[in-house]
Structure 1
Amino acid sequence: MAGQQPEHRRVEGSLAESSSSVTIDPVMAAFQLLLPLLVTCVAASARPPRRLPACQVVQMDAFCSDLSLRSAPVDLPRGVQTLDLSRNHVQNLTRETLAFHTGLRRLNLRSNEIHFIQPGLFVDMAALKVLDLSRNRLNVFALSNVRLGPLTAVETLDLSSNGLYTGMTDYFLAHSPSLEVLALNGNSITKIAQNTFSGSPRLKKIGLRNNVILEIESGAFDSLSGLTELDLSKNSITCITDFNLCNLKVLNLSKNSVELFHSATSTDYYCLLSLDLSENKMSTFPLLPRNNRLERLDVSRNQLQSVNDTATPDEKTFFSHLRYLDMSYNQLQSLPESFFHCMRSLEVLNVSNNCIGEFSVADEGLLRTVKVINLGYNSLRSLTFGENTLRSLEKLLLRGNGLATLDSGVFRRLPSIEHLQLRQNNLQICSWGRNRQDAPGCVSFSSVPTLQILDLSDNQLRTVPADAFAGSPLKSLDLSLNPGLDMDRDSLSGLERSLVHLLLRENNISSLSMDLSSLTSLKHIDLSTNQLTTVPAWNRDSSIESLNLQNNHLVTLEYSTMLALEPSLKTLYMGSNPLSCCSNLDLLQMVQNSAVVVPDIETATCVHQEYSEPVNIEQVTQDMCLRPGGRYYAVAAVVVALVTVVALVLLVRCFRARKPEHNRSFRA
């Protein structure tokens, strides 16, 4: 036993050694795990920092917008001519910010956070022509009483939406001898002082839209001999007196509070081409320069009650160049013919939404060039055109006047008329021919050889007589919104080759007596919101591309008719009808499988007797229209027939078996 002790100790020693090795292994393992992490960290620290998205450089133009930059990237190529840093986070504008690019021609810093500009920054930029500093915080910079300039070469400067108020513009406009285009829109300027633009004598275009301008000092624009465009819209200006900017071509004073506009009494020739005085508070017509080139005048949405027609020849303003005149949305009671005597070039006259009761043109020398007259939404009681008047008139809009009586041939006196809008009146259509019985005051629409578009919707029309439009090559005819309208079988006679658009919606029509298949050029027809139970018949010669059958009483759509339309039909509206799913199965499958577009497919449903709710036409299948057990219906029918035949055969045999046999006797 004693001799075995050393071996036992050796065993214990080996166990002790093994246990010590086990305690060292976790340290090594941890070191092995940490080593890759340490290597990764060292490698990461050796890498350069993550670069921001690069600018897009095209030739010598660098576009760096929307990159969250605080300055121009330093790696831009030298000689860059255009630098776009818009919509970034630039706050301080210094030489370092612009990476010392002094050769720039166009610099865009729109929509940043700029509130500081290094003095003299633009002195060395002798080539800079366009500078956009809009939508920043330059009002903070202006508080430092430091001037932006000199801007020796800048021709276009945008300072819009910077919170600038009266007096602050001086710090930006002083020493800008080359400036031609200036935008100060969307600031808080209340006054234009006499010396506001004294440092920019070459200005041609000034934008002061959407400020709070209340006052313009006398002579504020006098030093700007080259000024041609001035936008003062959306301010608080109340009057313009002694207007004397002879070289100005475009003046926008819309959306102010102007009550009076008077030009200076002068025989000077004014270059003004466009004057916008819309949305103001004028009660009298503006007094414009006697000698002018005005082509466009907008005095809509004011409080005008009359026009200047009593002025003496010496006081009268000549509008010999005027092409567009808008006096809509005022309170005008009348338009005397004398008002148009000096308008030799007028093409568009808009006097809609006034209170005009009569409109007449008897002198053939008046309005000879006018092409469009809008008299919509007035209180017209009479409308008179003399012979050979309005020879160029193409479009006459008379919507919403409640007209009930007119001279029957009033529109035949318009030799160039193409478009008549008579919606929302109370007119009736005259019959054609000698033996006619017309309602008093009816209007004839036949034999108007140039008429192409006619809107008679919402006129309380009772009938459309035969040949009502014969001799008038209509392309579009709207007879909608005339409930109870009775149309003759030949109402559309004469339009077979011309009519393209036909609208008959919301007329409570239950059936159509007209043969629409004869209208070979018809492409678009609207029959929606009526009481139709059948679809008009068409043949393969049809050109229908768009058909609206919405909101009718259609249970079955004739498949043969719809099949005839399929080659040309592109759009079909068929929602809100009580269609039968199984009675229109072929049609629904055609719609599902063809290229015809059904825009109201979500509301296009059909009725199925086994479903409590209407079924969308896209979900209808042939199996849905088989009876219960219908899959075996044909087989069952054959079986029943066979059983019936077998039963009949058995009955016949049974009858013969029970029949008594005749006695047979033989005599020798």
Structure 2
Amino acid sequence: CYCCTALCLTVSHSSTLFSHLSRFKETTSWRFRNLTSVPEGLDVRLRELDLSNNVIRHINSQSLALPSLLRLDLSYNQLEIISEGAFRDVAQLQELNLARNALSHNVDSTSRALGSLHRLRRLDLSLNGLDDDAAGLYLRDKSILERLDLTGNGLTRLTPKLFAESLSVRSIRIENNLITAIEEGTFEPLKKLKILNLARNNLVNICDFKLHQVKLLNLSRNSIEFFVTREDGHPYELEILDLSFNNLLYFPMVPKTNRLRYLHLQSNMVGTLETDTLISEADSLYRELTSEDEVNDAVDNNNIYSNWKLMPLVYMDLSSNHFRSLPVETLSHLTSLVTLNLSKNCLQDISGNGHVGGYHQPSLTFPSLRYFDLQNNGLRQLSTFFLEALPNIETLNLKENSVRVSLNSMSPCVSFWNIKTLRSLDLQDNGIKTLHQNTFKGTPLISLNLASNVDIIFDIGALEGLQSSLQSLSISGNSMTTSALSLPCLKALRRLNMSNNSVDVLPGIISCSPLTELDLRNNGLTSMNESVVDRLSLYLDVLYVSGNSFNCCDTNWLKALNKEKVNIPDLHHAVCLSVNGTLLTVHISILYTTYLMCIYYILLVHVSML
């Protein structure tokens, strides 16, 4: 009937239309096409267009007729000029990436073109060689702009005029410029600003920080000598402050009312001054930069850092500074601290008993600290008082120090006995010679690194108490022989690193553990006990074997591992020795060939003897 026919035609037409629409892509990419201009005939429904990494020099007024376009990427071209009316027909554009071009040329024309983009929310002008004036022209009429990137340009001075027409901006990145000064009022009017990145510039100091609205501030890799915040009674929203790789002599001075949680101070000069000198000089500096009336409110008990007791800091990185002793006077206020990194300093002794350098200090306590990195210092001892000040410690990194381990809490050595919360301990490269019986008893370690303690001796029962908890153990690089190993049955062990030793026989005791990863590289193994290998294969996923001198005529262990599909990533580097000492490379694909070659060399030896 007619109705049926009409219905069929409608369904058919709808199906064809749907098929056509389904082939339309809202996004198209013309990256790396060596284009010199915008392609013609682009679908007017496009919402995202990527023309990056081409050689386009000019965008003329007829190039872009895409009324639905929201995102346009023109980065990594050779753009020198964008005609004034080029963006007339992309009025909906919200994101524009112009990074790595030559927009320092023809600034007047190109800036007028950008001025017509009234809906623009994200703008990337990085790596264009822009100076202060050019950047200002490009930011005219950007009233709803939210994210701005000016990284890698030539800005030298920031003034209030620069962002006067971009008051809605939330994120500004001006990293890697030549900025030496920031005029007052530059960022204060930007009430929505949350992220400010000024890393890799030439700033020397921040003497009156008062951006209450900013949550993340990155000032790393400048030349900053001090950071001072004036106490004005208003709350600060700052949560992340990065002052790493500067010339700081003092801790940053922050207001009482703050929300700072993450503080990066690595690679500075903090600790060069003794603790008492540091505090007194910081107090004097604050008085010099602020009025006398404010000092009385800001400084409690003549210590500007007493404000830290109200700071909700959870992460602090003080690595690569100049501390010779623990800055107890300051750190004692940080009761919320979870992670503290003091690696690569000059620490030699941490007593933690309230006496440092001969005078009384507040008792050190870190009630919330879980991760403490003391790697690469000169530590010889950690007192019982200090370890007791870490009631919730989970990870302790003492790698590359000179600590000595003992059982006696009264000795000058370090005792790791009965630390109920400790889960991960790194004692690599400490020169430890003896690991005594029950060293870690009562301390339920999950991970233990004893690597690079050359000629270390394990007393019988040295790892006693770790049988049901230890999951990862490294004894790499200790020059240990098979007889020097005294391991208990570690029923929870999953990863064992025995590399770079002198082990010639695979210890049968390790088959007691459900190992998933075993590292046997660079030892003296010539074969492996098949019964041990069979038990290991029940759980083993990864095995490393290179750097041993296996017997080419005894490769049954390798066949067993191959049968169980154990991954041996370095097998192509493994070698074996034939009967007459000829070196042959063992490849898993030539196992049987290797066996036949072994028979060949045996016959060759017999022939040579006749």
* Runs of 5+ unmatched residues, structure 1: 1-55, 364-378, 433-437, 634-668
Partner of residue 423, structure 1: 399
Q: Check whether the contact 2:341–2:373 (CA below 8 A) recurs between aligned residues.
A: no
CA distance in 2, matches of 1:386, 1:330: 23
User: What letter corresponds to residue 142 of structure 1 in structure 2?
Assistant: V
Instruction: State whether structure 2 residue 298 is matched by structure 1 residue 314.
Output: yes
Q: What is aligned with 2:319?
A: 328
Aligned-residue offset at 1:290? 4.3
Match of 2:76 in 1: 111
**1:76 matched to which residue of 2?**
42
Aligned residue among 311, 326, 329 for 1:338:
329
Relative distance call for 1:168 and 1:591 in structure 2 (3 A) is same
CA 196–75 in structure 1, closer or farther in 2 if over 3 Å, else same: same
Give the corresponding residue for 1:35.
Answer: none
2: CA distance between counterparts of 1:221 and 1:627? 80
Pairing 1:442–2:413 present: yes
Give, in whole Å, the separation in 2 of the partners of 1:204 and 1:244. 17
Residue 332 of structure 1 aligns to which amino acid in structure 2? Answer: F
8 Å Cα contact 2:578/2:601 also seen in 1: no
Q: Which position in structure 1 is the counterpart of 2:342?
A: 351
1:284 to 250, 269, 281: 250
Cα–Cα, structure 1 residues 598 and 282, in superposed 2: closer, same or farther, change >3 Å? same
Number of aligned residue pairs:
554
Per the alignment, do residues 343 and 475 of structure 1 end up closer, same or farther by CA in structure 2, a change over 3 Å counting?
A: closer
Q: Are positions 1:390 and 2:366 aligned together?
A: yes
Q: Distance in 2 between matches of 1:343 and 1:351?
A: 15
Task: Using structure 2 for the length normalisation, give the TM-score.
Answer: 0.79
Per-residue CA deviation, residues 296-344 of structure 1 (Å, 9 max, x unaligned), is: 2222222223466444663336342333222322223444433245534
Distance 1:125 1:627 in 2: 78
Query: In structure 2, what is the Cα distance between the partners aligned to 1:605 and 1:456?
Result: 32
Match of 2:52 in 1: 86
Contact kept? 1:356, 1:380, Cα under 8 Å: no
Cα offset for 1:621?
0.7
Aligned to 2:576: 606
- Pick closer, same or farther for the CA change 1:454–1:202 going to 2, 3 Å: closer
Cα drift, residue 235 of structure 1:
1.4
Listed as ranges, the matches of 1:531-610 within 5 Å are 531-538=502-509, 542-582=513-553, 584-591=554-561, 593-610=563-580
The equivalences for 1:8-27 within 5 A come to none
Choose 329-338 or 108-117, whichever is displaced more.
329-338
Residue of 86, 91, 99 corresponding to 1:134:
99
CA–CA distance in structure 2, aligned partners of residues 543 and 81 of structure 1 = 54
Runs of 5+ in structure 2 lacking a partner?
1-21, 284-295
| 3-state SS of 1:563 partner | helix
Cα deviation per residue 1:221-266 (whole Å; 9 max; x = unaligned)? 3443333322211112223333332322222221112234333453
Q: Is the 8 A contact 1:151 1:177 kept in 2?
A: no
> How many angstroms does 1:97 deviate by?
0.7
Q: Which amino acid aligns with 1:456?
A: L
Question: What CA distance in whole angstroms lies between the structure 1 residues aligned with 2:23 and 2:564?
Answer: 50
Deviation at 1:447, TM superposition (A): 2.4
Contact 2:552 2:578 survives alignment (8 Å): yes
Task: Specify the alignment match of 1:486 in structure 2.
Answer: 457
Structure 1: distance between partners of 2:192 and 2:237: 12
Match of 2:448 among 477, 482, 485: 477
Moved more, 202-211 or 617-626: 617-626
Tell me how far 1:184 sits from its aligned partner.
Answer: 1.4
Pair member with larger Rg = 1
Q: Which piece of structure 1 moves more, 442-451 or 208-217?
A: 442-451
Which one scores higher on RCO, CA 8 angstroms, separation ≥ 6? 2
Equivalent of 1:624 in 598, 605, 609: 598
Shift of residue 71, structure 1, vs aligned partner: 4.2
Contact 1:181 1:205 in 2 (8 A): yes
In structure 2, the CA distance between the partners of 1:564 and 1:296, relative to structure 1 (3 Å rule), is closer
Deviations 1:599-649 (A, max 9, x none): 33234222223353355374521562478669x99xxxxxxxxxxxxxxxx
Aligned counterparts of 1:514 and 1:146: Cα–Cα separation in 2: 73
What's the CA shift string for 1:409-434, capped at 9, x where partnerless? 864664433223233333443358xx
Q: Choose the corresponding residue for 2:136, options 145, 170, 180.
A: 170
Q: Counterpart of 1:51? A: none
Q: CA deviation at 1:357?
A: 4.7
Instruction: Select 1:160's aligned residue among 126, 130, 151.
Output: 126
| Deviating more after overlay: 336-345 vs 164-173 | 336-345
CA distance in 2, matches of 1:137, 1:272: 35
- What corresponds to 1:468 in structure 2? 439
Letter aligned with residue 168 of structure 1: A
State the match for 1:267 in structure 2.
233
CA separation in 2, counterparts of 1:540 and 1:261?
A: 57
What is the distance in 2 between the residues matched to 1:500 and 1:484?
24
Q: State how far apart, in whole Å, the 2-side matches of 1:486 and 1:174 are.
A: 72
Query: Displacement, 1:541?
Result: 5.4
Letter of the 1:558 partner, please give it: N
CA distance in 1, matches of 2:46, 2:543: 58
Aligned to 1:110, what secondary structure does the other structure show?
A: coil
